[in-house]
Structure 1
């Protein structure tokens, strides 16, 4: 019974050492295997194996002279992904703050992360009754306005793969409330409506009493990279769906324009 624990501990130690190597390369620019081994207090063969793994993932690369290593271009890829999210939050905040003040409800900026939604930013409205703080949290893609807006704008192959992965053995998606759309046909019909109208509305599907209106945010190439939504208690939102939908759509277009979209 001790082996799995030992193996797990060794794996964590290897990850820690590999991350330390990246930090060392970032600090020093380039280092040799012997130097890295000494700094890690490990055998040279261990340092070589770790560097080979990092090199295979593009996170380290070997210089032609004397076998020294430096950070690889894969680090730029990871940094770029983080930077794009930071840029999205930074560029959307003036718009979402204004929208939250205008409608008095909570405004969220959300991206697709695997088969779920990931909430990047939230601005609370002025209404006395507030809802959850969603930042950093994930929600089911099929039961949220943000999720369905994002799902409506992925490729057909990606959409089908996501829905297939979320469907249980009985052919249904997870039911979170009595109003959740649980069949593939119902979700696809709603996605068509979203593409036609330019926004999506979900009432009481994630939680009873919660309604959200969402619209797509596009990058400079016109690709949908995020969703912007207004959400709040159903009793406050349902009587204002038409104006809120227009406000959300305008805000999403404004953020898209700040990101370079000219459509």
Structure 2
């Protein structure tokens, strides 16, 4: 991996603050990042000059049009989200449960598409949400596709935090589960990220054969049993294969 450039990292740190805030002032950015005031003013000034930030009222800043253009260009080219939504709609129509499409970002899962269950009782989630990969069926499918050396490096300095009492926090146990998922082609999760939800997921491959996303079906545990798990595992395999075909896999 190439050496990171500190100035570029700090610029991205500034921009990423706006993922959780509509507007920020230079003093607020300084406080949040712990950077010298002069450094923040230089960064903000440069980003504003290039159009990635723009001035708002009372010395505050918001994301600029250039940030929107980059995001729009990314979304326009993100076939995974567009094609995933199409397949998710088909799978959700067959099972009437919530269907997600997720991609991996480091040790997290980012949900890029979702179709809600048609049942009155269903899980609550949102496109754009992030969860620890090791706590979700989607995430474990994506982790299982990694070479083991890359997986070990990914978690070398990270603890496996728990979201529920069922979350896997032991590295060896996670490794054994990922090996099983790699053999079986389906990941299963029971109340590991949400105490009231079970889930199955399968990998999605592109034209090179690489795993680029995962498709999952999530079910409230009040509707979960062995027969449902078996049927949905078959369905999510079918859906992931159809998704892969749409990506040239």
Aligned-partner SS, 1:16: helix
Aligned-partner SS, 2:118: coil
**Cα distance between partner residues in 1 of 2:154 and 2:179:** 16
Task: Please give the residue correspondences for 1:4-153 in structure 2 after superposition, counting only pairs within 5 Å.
Answer: 4-19=36-51, 82-85=75-78, 87-153=79-145
Indicate whether 1:233 and 2:233 are aligned: no
Indicate whether 1:187 and 2:174 are aligned: yes
Q: TM-score, normalised by structure 2?
A: 0.74
**Cα distance between partner residues in 1 of 2:45 and 2:96:** 49
Structure 1's consecutive aligned runs of 4 or more residues displaced over 4 angstroms after TM superposition are 77-84
| Matched residue count | 200
Q: 1:90 Cα deviation (Å)?
A: 1.8
Task: Kindly indicate whether the alpha-carbon contact (under 8 Å) linking 1:100 and 1:106 is maintained by their aligned counterparts in 2.
Answer: yes
User: Which residue of 228, 238, 241 maps to 1:250?
Assistant: 238
Which moved further from structure 2: 155-164 or 176-185?
Answer: 155-164
**Cα distance between partner residues in 2 of 1:79 and 1:90:** 13
Q: Per the alignment, do residues 156 and 254 of structure 1 end up closer, same or farther by CA in structure 2, a change over 3 Å counting?
A: same
**Cα distance between partner residues in 2 of 1:165 and 1:236:** 38
**Cα distance between partner residues in 2 of 1:210 and 1:166:** 26
Task: Kindly indicate whether the alpha-carbon contact (under 8 Å) linking 1:120 and 1:136 is maintained by their aligned counterparts in 2.
Answer: yes
**Cα distance between partner residues in 1 of 2:184 and 2:241:** 14
**Cα distance between partner residues in 1 of 2:221 and 2:71:** 39
Q: Deviations over 1:31-75 (max 9, x none)?
A: xxxxxxxxxxxxxxxxxxxxxxxxxxxxxxxxxxxxxxxxxxxxx
Task: Kindly indicate whether the alpha-carbon contact (under 8 Å) linking 1:149 and 1:199 is maintained by their aligned counterparts in 2.
Answer: yes
**Cα distance between partner residues in 2 of 1:134 and 1:79:** 19
Q: 1:125 Cα deviation (Å)?
A: 1.7
**Cα distance between partner residues in 2 of 1:16 and 1:114:** 29
Q: Per the alignment, do residues 234 and 166 of structure 1 end up closer, same or farther by CA in structure 2, a change over 3 Å counting?
A: farther
Aligned partner of 2:192 in structure 1 is: 205
Q: Rg: which structure is higher?
A: 1
**Cα distance between partner residues in 2 of 1:157 and 1:19:** 40
